[in-house]
Amino acid sequence: MAEGQALLASVILWVVVLWGYMWKCIAFWMAARRDQLGWYIVLAVLPPVFGALEMIYVFLVAPRHQELEEGWPTA
């Protein structure tokens, strides 16, 4: 029974690690594409926390930055 639990724990750990790195890669790509060196450095220096900071960047910061670049809508 202990072998099965160890295998399950190992699989769960790998899934969580891959989940975090997937979000890190997406955030790196978006920061580089938007020429945001500051965010790129922050994402590189801080350790991954299940992709939380990366998801904040992808869903909150990057779209807001794009709105600011597009400027005010013209009527």
Q: What are the extents of the domains in the chain? A: 2-70
8 pLDDT tier (thresholds 50, 70, 90): very high
Mean pLDDT of the chain, nearest integer: 82
- Contacts of residue 43, Cβ cutoff 8 Å, sequence gap at least 6: 24, 27, 28, 31, 53, 54, 57
pTM, entire model: 0.70
* Helical packing angle, 37-45 and 2-33, nearest 10°: 160
Using one digit for the tens of pLDDT, what is the confidence trace for 10-45?
A: 999 999 888 888 888 899 999 999 888 998 898 888
